[in-house]
């Protein structure tokens, strides 16, 4: 894969160093990333495709809004999320955060829960973690913004969170909240029909793959959620706190891109 100036600038912004540092590397070769840190688990290259323990038969604890969610269209689903009172989080929210992007985007990004800014604006990943996410996406030639990629769904993402409401004080999502919100995420995946899901962070991974395993043990392979190839990676907020792991995050994006290419889209 060859990298142009724009992608190199984005990777630099992500804190990922390419090796060799000049564009003279072999065209079409896999991007050698200077990890520069302690060795981690093997990257996705050549990694086998694994099936999560219960990948597609995820049955949510039926909350008040679970019934019928599986048959909703986009307007119905948006209205159901906007009016949801299935868990206590509705009491502290300013806005629900449904998700953003092309409704048939090839890429689906799943994060954790809205933070303060997302709650205020009603859009996922608009804070610092969101800026890093946007840079990571740009490095792959992707965007949440249709105009930025000429309206091509293959280069667009649909960004969602496991929880649609902000947990108070940005605390971790509780299992009950995740279970109540899960039907919405399941329906979003069913409607978007992405070719690839990128699960970012512990709660996205736990919710999608129904696994309690650490991210470090789940990354580097392609899992499946509702039959969709699913790649696990670190949450951008974690990468901001642990920049040494950005190179691993980049490895995960490369694996996702490879999986997407295998799925017939670039
Ligand atoms: N972190 C998330 O997981 N989602 C957001 O929308 C913002 C921060």
Specify the ligand 1 atom closest to the Cα of 204.
3
Beta bridge partners of 18: 33
Looking at residue 28, what is its pLDDT?
Answer: 30
Ligand 1 centroid to Cα of residue 165, in Å, is 10
Specify the ligand 1 atom closest to the Cα of 201.
3
Rounded to 10 deg, the angle between the 5-14 and 246-262 helix axes is 130
Ligand 1 centroid to Cα of residue 137, in Å, is 15
Ligand 1 centroid to Cα of residue 124, in Å, is 6
Query: What is the residue with the minimal CA distance to atom 8 of ligand 1?
Result: 125
Tell me: the pLDDT tens digits for 83-94? 999 999 999 999
* DSSP code of residue 49: B
Q: Which domains does the chain have, with CATH numbers?
A: 50-264 (3.40.470.10)
> Which phi and psi angles does 68 have, rounded to 5°?
90, -15
Query: What is the residue with the minimal CA distance to atom 7 of ligand 1?
Result: 125
Specify the ligand 1 atom closest to the Cα of 97.
6
Query: What is the residue with the minimal CA distance to atom 3 of ligand 1?
Result: 112
Residues of the chain with pLDDT under 50: 20-62, 64-65
Ligand 1 centroid to Cα of residue 125, in Å, is 5
The helix/strand/coil state of 106 is coil
Looking at residue 34, what is its pLDDT?
Answer: 25
Which of 89, 94, 110, 113 most suits a substitution to test ligand 1, by most atoms within 8 Å of the C-beta? 113
Which of 100, 111, 185 most suits a substitution to test ligand 1, by most atoms within 8 Å of the C-beta? 111
> Which phi and psi angles does 223 have, rounded to 5°?
-95, -175
Q: Which of 224, 85, 69, 265 minimizes the C-alpha distance to 164?
A: 85
Q: Do the Cβ atoms of 153 and 105 come closer than 8 Å?
A: yes
The residues, ordered by sequence, that sit 6+ positions from 61 with a Cβ below 8 Å of its Cβ are: 176, 179, 180, 182
Specify the ligand 1 atom closest to the Cα of 161.
4
> What residues line ligand 1, using a CB cutoff of 6 Å?
111-115, 118, 124-125, 129, 161, 237
Looking at residue 265, what is its pLDDT?
Answer: 72
Q: Which of 106, 202, 200 minimizes the C-alpha distance to 160?
A: 200
157-161 vs 107-111, strand pairing mode: parallel
């Amino acid at each position: 894969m060859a990298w142009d100036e724009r992608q190199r600038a984005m990777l630099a912004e992500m804190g990922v160093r390419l090796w060799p540092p000049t564009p003279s590397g072999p065209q079409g070769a896999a991007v050698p990333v200077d990890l520069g840190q302690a060795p981690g688990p093997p990257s996705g290259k050549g990694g086998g495709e694994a099936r999560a323990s219960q990948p597609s038969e995820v049955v949510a604890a039926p909350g008040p809004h679970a019934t019928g969610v599986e048959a909703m269209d986009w307007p119905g689903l948006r209205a159901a999320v906007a009016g949801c009172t299935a868990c206590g989080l509705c009491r502290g929210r300013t806005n629900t955060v449904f998700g953003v992007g092309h409704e048939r985007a090839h890429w689906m990004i799943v994060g954790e829960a809205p933070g303060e800014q997302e709650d205020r604006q009603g859009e996922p990943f608009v804070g610092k973690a969101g800026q890093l996410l946007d840079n990571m996406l740009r490095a792959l030639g992707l965007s949440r913004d249709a105009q930025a990629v000429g309206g091509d769904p293959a280069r667009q993402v649909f960004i969602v969170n496991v929880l649609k409401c902000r947990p108070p004080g940005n605390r971790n999502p509780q299992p009950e909240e995740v279970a109540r919100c899960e039907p919405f995420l399941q329906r979003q995946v069913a409607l978007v029909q992405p070719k690839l899901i990128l699960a970012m962070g512990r709660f996205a991974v736990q919710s999608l793959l129904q696994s309690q395993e650490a991210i470090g043990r789940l990354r580097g392979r392609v899992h499946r959620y509702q039959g969709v190839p699913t790649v696990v990676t670190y949450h951008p907020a974690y990468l901001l706190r642990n920049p040494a792991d950005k190179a691993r995050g980049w490895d995960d994006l490369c694996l996702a891109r490879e999986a997407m290419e295998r799925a017939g889209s670039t």
